[in-house]
Amino acid sequence: MTTILADLEKSPTPTEKGQYVLWQDFDPRKRGGILGFVDDLLERLVCDRIRLHWIRDFVTEFPLAKEGESRTIHFPFRAYRAVIARMAALSDADATKDPFYPYRGIGSFTDSRWPHIRFDVDFDNRNGFLRLDLTPVFSSEPQ
Amino acid sequence: MPTLIHGTTRQRAENIIRNGPNPRYHEPGGVPVNDGFSMYVDGGPYVFDSPEVYARGKARQFPNEGGAVILAVEIPEEIVNAADPLLPIEGGVVQFVEGFGIEELLSVWSALPKEIRTL
């Protein structure tokens, strides 16, 4: 079941595991702009075990576990473009794999904060095809 | 004045020089957007792919637009500071959007020093 939130949504209930600040609560001037936003976003995915499906200015969070509800958040489109650009730079997607790179790509990356987690990313920044899927993959071994 | 650069095709760069950046520009076959206008700090460092990568990407998608170039523009610091706070200049990218610097940029555009660098 999907919960659709009509407007900007505040961060989920603060978790003891994560200190991220997201969505409506995110202040780019205090949190380092889009780099801080992506750092907080990855922390959210890891700490709360969720994946993202993002189209234009709507982000849907899905729990990795079968239980639990998804929720959709309205968020400024300009953030989507910047997050996609950061995903293109972080991941191993490149122009040898996709002629539309850096506007489209599939790849993965890791974050040194969580060496046992791989982030799979599938993005398209071309008008008419806008989409970002971002999924953390947990492993017992460093990625 | 900081020099900011924009990776694009030659045809688009020449159009931008003549008319100024269009935050609602949409590519051939694309859909109407209001994305603003992205520029990089000349010389980086870059937290995204470099402007050369973006220029070559556009040139691949639109091979009839004269090839990949870098448009370089000297922009007054106060206008740079008015850009979108989502992308602080320390990250090497400056995003001019409606309400965040694009109006100021367009108001002085014709007077700003500009050049096109062929890749």
To the nearest whole Å, the CA of A65 is away from the closest chain B CA by 32
Here the CATH number for the domain that contains residue A111 is 3.30.450.90
Q: Report angle CA A90, A112, A77 to the nearest 5 degrees.
A: 40
Q: Is residue A91 part of a domain?
A: yes
Q: What pLDDT shows up at residue B14?
A: 97
Q: What pLDDT shows up at residue A10?
A: 60
Q: Is residue B28 part of a domain?
A: no
Q: What is the mean pLDDT of each run of 10 residues along chain A (143 residues)?
A: 49 62 81 87 94 92 91 86 90 87 92 95 87 93 70
Q: Is residue B66 part of a domain?
A: yes
Query: Are B37 and B13 contacting, i.e. CB atoms less than 8 angstroms apart?
Result: no
For residue A104, CA distances in Å to A53, A86, A96, B32 come to 15, 12, 12, 19
Test the B interface: residue of A127, A129, A130 with most B CBs within 10 Å: A127
Q: Is residue B79 part of a domain?
A: yes
Q: Is residue A83 part of a domain?
A: yes
**B95 contacts in chain A (CB < 8 Å):** 78, 82
Give the one of B85, B91, B93 whose C-beta lies nearest to A29's C-beta.
Answer: B85
pTM above 0.90, yes or no: no
- Distance separating alpha carbons of residues A74 and A9, to the nearest angstrom: 7
- Ramachandran region of residue B82, left (φ > 0), alpha (ψ -120 to 50) or beta? alpha
To the nearest whole Å, the CA of B77 is away from the closest chain A CA by 18
Query: Are B79 and B21 contacting, i.e. CB atoms less than 8 angstroms apart?
Result: no
- Distance separating alpha carbons of residues A91 and A96, to the nearest angstrom: 13
Query: Are A121 and A106 contacting, i.e. CB atoms less than 8 angstroms apart?
Result: yes
Q: Is residue A32 part of a domain?
A: yes
Q: Is residue B27 part of a domain?
A: no
**A127 contacts in chain B (CB < 8 Å):** 26-27, 30-31, 33
Residue A99 near chain B (CB below 8 Å)? yes
Beta carbons of A34 and B87 less than 8 Å apart: yes
Q: Is residue B29 part of a domain?
A: no
To the nearest whole Å, the CA of A67 is away from the closest chain B CA by 34
Residue B48 near chain A (CB below 8 Å)? yes
Q: Is B5 helix (H, G, I), strand (E, B) or coil?
A: strand
Q: What are phi and psi of B105, to 5 degrees?
A: -65, -45
> Number of structural domains, chain B?
1
Which residue of chain A comes nearest to B51, CA vs CA? A102
Q: What are phi and psi of A58, to 5 degrees?
A: -125, 125
> Number of structural domains, chain A?
1
Q: Is residue A80 part of a domain?
A: yes
Residue B57 near chain A (CB below 8 Å)? yes
Per-residue pLDDT tens digits for B23-68? 888 777 665 566 789 999 999 888 888 999 999 999 998 999 999 9
Q: What is the ipTM of this complex?
A: 0.74
As beta bridge partners, residue B68 has B9
> Domain of B12?
7-22+34-118
As beta bridge partners, residue A107 has A121
Per-residue pLDDT tens digits for B85-113? 888 888 788 999 999 999 999 999 999 99
> Domain of A58?
2-138
Q: What pLDDT shows up at residue A3?
A: 46
